[in-house]
């Protein structure tokens, strides 16, 4: 699942444009972003973070995407999932 501070309409457009097979959450009030420490009020946009959440709902790993290549990041997360399976 993905989330950002964008509106529902903007999230739908982005997901459709990118061909995502899943929905994106619109966290317009920034409650989720603040809870997951993604809010950066001084910058005006959230941190790009990936959380790997286990079946019990516990955060098993956190990945900060700051300056990272998205394909390499996705591969690292997938490798981590395989190693934990």
- pLDDT tens column, 14-70: 999 989 888 889 999 999 999 999 999 898 888 889 999 999 999 999 998 887 788
pLDDT at 70: 80
What's the structural domain count of the chain?
2
Of 8, 64, 5, 73, nearest in space to 39 by CA = 5
User: Is 2 in the same domain as 41?
Assistant: yes
pLDDT of residue 85: 87
Per residue in 56-80, pLDDT (tens digit) is 999 999 998 887 788 888 898 999 9
Q: What is the pLDDT of residue 20?
A: 86
Same structural domain, 53 and 41: no
* The two structure tokens encoding residue 11: 């999230």
Enclosing domain of residue 63: 48-85
Give yes or no: residues 30 and 53 share one domain: no
Determine which helix (DSSP H) or strand (DSSP E) holds 80, and give its type and residue range. Answer: helix 70-84
pLDDT for position 44: 82
* 54 SS3 class: coil
Looking at the structure, tell me whether residues 40 and 66 fall in a common domain.
no
If asked whether residues 14 and 26 sit together in one domain, one would say: yes
Do 54 and 84 lie in a common domain? yes
């Amino acid at each position: 699942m993905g989330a950002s501070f964008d509106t529902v309409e903007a999230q739908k457009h982005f997901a459709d444009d990118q061909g995502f097979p899943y929905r994106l959450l619109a966290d317009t009030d920034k409650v989720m972003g603040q809870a997951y420490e993604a809010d950066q009020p001084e910058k005006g946009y959230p941190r790009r973070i990936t959380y790997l959440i286990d079946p019990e709902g516990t955060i098993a790993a956190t990945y900060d995407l700051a300056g990272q290549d998205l394909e390499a990041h996705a591969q690292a997360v997938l490798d981590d999932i395989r190693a934990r399976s």
